[in-house]
């Protein structure tokens, strides 16, 4: 017989929202940490040298990643993006081994270099038990081969063992010709990325069923899609619908009108490459022009259905690390701040917190264990502060994640980013610059007179004047990220790095997460277990 307490609890359990993974709404509040599975963490039993330039497997695994989740969560990231999980071509090619996961062989099998399917399921469970999300990278545009025009598929390619599954051989030669981009092949004779015929029903149906099963089998919360611009737009709506979770896609192009069409027509939320290029140019030197970045914000607003769903980043696995050419810590901090204080979803790339300086691929794919996972480093603490400020703003305002920012120049070397209740001043004056004074007008911040605000980075408190204007000193070119003290939550309290992501001011924190799949299972299970013991 059920106890009266359990009977009382059952209606509550039935009423709990139990959504599947991240959707557009909940994804806005996510903060994503990208890892290359092979390079993030490996078992202690593996001690061989790992040189990024060798382009070889270094032993990173899902199981070892599980052991380092608190390292990621300690910076305030709540979502982990891992490398593609499918079986890749084996052996050594002219471009090394397939350690990165992007050289698909058989999409029906998993890459056992990273662990077993059960290991991947354990990673998913471990993330969910910590109130975190799992994003998996997928490649639908191509498979890989060590030959170009002479490529002939065979049974090793699993579902794509027939030549009918591929576009006829041709290298991409004209990126201004979209048909050439979509139907010809990436790569070269060392590693050809053989273009799948994603315009055929056979290939479309396979991928739609595959992604649905992928999300279900591994309880995924989000999917990142590689090489989106190389697949025709009409492929994606059904694929996105089949996935049933939030989709972020790589459209590697800086033209806002070109990239924006993928959000409008393909229903894929792109990474913000249009902002990336002026961001790098604006902060990679003290003479950088921030006007281009300010103007791009307006261009993005007019070319995207929803800029608050774009993926913002400074570093990733495809582009040289910002730190490969910039050594000024103030410039580095300002550039890294931008993705966290603007419209969209911030992405951090592993190793940025460790001060890695790798340039072009493969140099930007260093092994993180060489840093000893130092949680006391300047940039580790900096990312924790940025995530804390962003989450405090989201908790303080139901509209923070959906309201679009305004960006305006404050001086020749600084810009104001107003995304209420977060107000940021970014500068490219550099660490050697003299202190500079700027004023944040109440018309931009929304602050009233005599409002106390706190800088989430320095923890300095300031007070607006009687009109709500704030006099700000930019010290040593460092960024300032302000929020009203009454709204700061755990900012500068010393506990911010352990806070859970909240979707809005009514979000729950800790283990009882109600905004995603499975977060509440452990807590409810413990309650039910205790009750059953009492029966």
In a domain, 514, yes or no: no
The verdict on whether 97 is a catalytic residue reads: no
**Domain shared by 195 and 217, yes or no:** yes
Report which DSSP code applies to 185: B
Q: Is 318 flagged in the annotation as binding?
A: yes
8 burial via Cβ count (<10 Å: 0-12, 13-18, 19+): exposed
In a domain, 3, yes or no: no
**Domain shared by 179 and 73, yes or no:** yes
Asked if residues 407 and 415 have their Cβ atoms less than 8 Å apart, the reply is: yes
CATH, residue 441: 2.60.40.1180
**Domain shared by 433 and 289, yes or no:** no
Note the residue count of the chain.
Answer: 535
The DSSP secondary structure of 248-312, one letter per residue, reads: EE------HHHHHHHHHHS--EEB-HHHHHHHHHHHSSTT--SHHHHHHHHHHHHH-S-GGGSEE
**Domain shared by 290 and 427, yes or no:** no
Q: Is 281 flagged in the annotation as binding?
A: no
Q: From residue 351, how far is each of 42, 105, 365, 515 by CA, in Å?
A: 15, 29, 9, 29
Query: Low-confidence residues of the chain, pLDDT below 50?
Result: 1-3, 5-7, 9-19, 495-535
**Domain shared by 385 and 458, yes or no:** no
**Domain shared by 385 and 421, yes or no:** no
What is the rounded distance in angstroms from the CA atom of residue 194 to the CA atom of residue 148?
8
Phi-psi region of 355 (alpha: psi -120 to 50; beta: other; left: phi over 0): left
Q: Provide the 10 A C-beta neighbour count for residue 411.
A: 15
Closest-CA residue to 138 (of 32, 224, 219): 224
**Domain shared by 363 and 294, yes or no:** yes
What is the rounded distance in angstroms from the CA atom of residue 67 to the CA atom of residue 60?
12
**Domain shared by 275 and 418, yes or no:** no
Domain boundary among 372, 396, 420: 396
Closest-CA residue to 165 (of 154, 179, 173): 154
Asked if residues 388 and 496 have their Cβ atoms less than 8 Å apart, the reply is: yes
Helix H, strand E, coil C: the string for 449-511 is CCCEEEECCCCCEEECCCCCCEEEEECCCCCEEEEEHHHCCCCCCCCHHHCCCCCCCCCCCCC
Q: Is 226 flagged in the annotation as binding?
A: yes
**Domain shared by 234 and 343, yes or no:** yes
Q: Is 394 flagged in the annotation as binding?
A: no
In a domain, 8, yes or no: no
What is the rounded distance in angstroms from the CA atom of residue 115 to the CA atom of residue 212?
22
**Domain shared by 410 and 370, yes or no:** no
The verdict on whether 289 is a catalytic residue reads: no
User: In terms of residue numbers, what domain contains 353?
Assistant: 24-396
What is the rounded distance in angstroms from the CA atom of residue 101 to the CA atom of residue 38?
9
Number of domains within the chain:
2
Q: Which residues pair with 17 in a beta bridge?
A: none
Distance of alpha carbon 267 from the chain centroid: 18
Q: Is 201 flagged in the annotation as binding?
A: no
**Domain shared by 175 and 291, yes or no:** yes
Q: Is 518 flagged in the annotation as binding?
A: no
Helix 378-396 vs helix 329-341: angle between axes, to the nearest 10 degrees?
30
Q: Where are the beta strands (DSSP E) in 306-464?
A: 311-313, 345-349, 406-411, 414-419, 422-427, 436-440, 452-455, 461-463
pLDDT of residue 514: 36
**Domain shared by 424 and 338, yes or no:** no
In a domain, 426, yes or no: yes
Asked if residues 482 and 422 have their Cβ atoms less than 8 Å apart, the reply is: yes
Q: What is the pLDDT of residues 101-121, one digit of tens each?
A: 999 999 999 999 999 999 999
Catalytic residue among 87, 119, 226, 353, which? 226
Q: Provide the 10 A C-beta neighbour count for residue 506.
A: 10
Domain boundary among 343, 370, 396: 396
In a domain, 171, yes or no: yes
Closest-CA residue to 393 (of 422, 418, 423): 422
In a domain, 535, yes or no: no
In a domain, 504, yes or no: no
Q: Is 519 flagged in the annotation as binding?
A: no
pLDDT of residue 190: 96
Closest-CA residue to 128 (of 451, 522, 439): 522
Report which DSSP code applies to 405: P
CATH, residue 363: 3.20.20.80
User: 205-217 burial, b for 16+ CB within 10 Å, e for fewer?
Assistant: ebbbebbeebbee
Determine if the peptide bond prior to 421 is cis (ω within 30°).
yes
Catalytic residue among 87, 250, 323, 455, which? 250
Q: From residue 453, how far is each of 126, 386, 436, 461 by CA, in Å?
A: 37, 16, 19, 6
* Long-range Cβ pairs for the range 147-155 (8 Å, 24+): 147/189, 147/192, 148/185, 148/187, 148/188, 148/189, 148/192, 151/192, 151/194, 153/194
Q: What angle do CA 483, 484, 488 make, to 5 degrees?
A: 70
Q: Provide the 10 A C-beta neighbour count for residue 257.
A: 13
First to last CA, the chain: 8
pLDDT of residue 495: 43
Q: Is 142 flagged in the annotation as binding?
A: yes
pLDDT of residue 20: 53
Closest-CA residue to 191 (of 264, 99, 319, 62): 99
Q: Is 250 flagged in the annotation as binding?
A: yes
Biggest alpha carbon distance in the chain? Answer: 75
pLDDT of residue 366: 98
In a domain, 432, yes or no: yes
Helix 273-283 vs helix 291-303: angle between axes, to the nearest 10 degrees?
170
Domain boundary among 376, 396, 416: 396
């Amino acid at each position: 017989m059920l106890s009266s307490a359990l009977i009382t609890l059952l209606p509550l359990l039935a009423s709990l929202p139990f959504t599947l993974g991240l959707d557009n709404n909940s994804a806005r509040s996510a903060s994503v940490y990208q890892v290359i599975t092979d390079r993030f963490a490996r078992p202690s039993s593996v001690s061989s040298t790992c040189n990024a330039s060798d382009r070889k497997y270094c032993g990173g695994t899902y199981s070892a990643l599980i052991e380092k989740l608190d390292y990621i969560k300690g910076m305030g990231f709540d979502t982990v993006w891992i490398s593609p999980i499918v079986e890749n071509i084996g052996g050594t090619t002219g471009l090394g081994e397939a350690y990165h996961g992007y050289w698909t062989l058989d999409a029906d099998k998993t890459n056992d270099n990273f662990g077993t399917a059960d290991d991947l399921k354990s990673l998913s469970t471990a993330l969910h038990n910590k109130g975190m999300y799992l994003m998996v990278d997928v490649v639908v545009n191509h498979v890989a081969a060590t030959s170009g025009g002479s490529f002939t598929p065979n049974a090793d390619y699993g579902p794509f063992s027939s030549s009918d599954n591929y576009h006829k051989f041709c290298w991409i030669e004209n990126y201004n010709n979209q048909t050439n981009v979509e139907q010809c092949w990436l790569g070269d004779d060392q590693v050809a990325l053989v273009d799948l015929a994603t315009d055929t029903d056979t290939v479309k149906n396979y991928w739609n069923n595959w992604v649905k099963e992928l999300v279900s089998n591994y309880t995924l919360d989000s999917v990142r899609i590689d090489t989106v611009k190389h697949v025709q737009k009409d492929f994606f709506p059904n694929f996105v619908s089949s996935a049933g979770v939030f989709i972020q896609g790589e459209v590697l192009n800086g033209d806002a009108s070109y990239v924006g069409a993928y959000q409008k027509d393909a229903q894929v939320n792109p990474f913000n490459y249009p902002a990336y290029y002026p961001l790098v140019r604006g902060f990679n030197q003290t003479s950088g022009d921030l006007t281009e970045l300010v103007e791009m914000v307006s261009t993005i607003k007019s070319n995207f259905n929803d800029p608050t769903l774009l993926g913002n980043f400074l570093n990733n696995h495809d582009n040289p690390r910002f730190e490969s050419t910039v050594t000024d810590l103030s410039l580095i901090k300002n550039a890294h701040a931008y993705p966290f204080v603007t419209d969209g979803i911030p992405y951090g790339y592993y190793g940025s917190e460790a001060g890695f300086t790798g340039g072009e691929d493969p140099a930007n794919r260093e092994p993180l264990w060489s840093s000893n996972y130092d949680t006391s480093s300047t940039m580790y603490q900096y990312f924790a502060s940025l995530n804390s400020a962003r989450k405090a703003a989201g908790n303080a305002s139901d509209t923070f994640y959906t309201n679009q920012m305004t960006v305006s120049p404050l001086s020749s070397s600084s810009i104001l980013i107003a995304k209420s209740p977060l107000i940021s001043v970014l500068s490219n004056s550099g660490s050697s610059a003299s202190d500079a004074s700027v004023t944040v007008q109440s018309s931009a911040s929304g602050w009233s007179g005599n409002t106390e605000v706190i800088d989430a980075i320095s923890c300095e408190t300031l007070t607006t004047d009687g009109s709500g204007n704030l006099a700000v000193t930019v010290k040593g070119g460092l960024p300032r990220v302000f929020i009203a003290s009454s709204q700061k939550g755990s900012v500068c309290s010393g506990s911010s790095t352990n806070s859970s992501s909240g979707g809005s001011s009514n979000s729950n924190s800790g283990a009882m997460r109600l905004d995603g799949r499975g977060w509440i299972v452990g807590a409810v299970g413990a309650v039910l277990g205790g009750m059953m013991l009492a029966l």
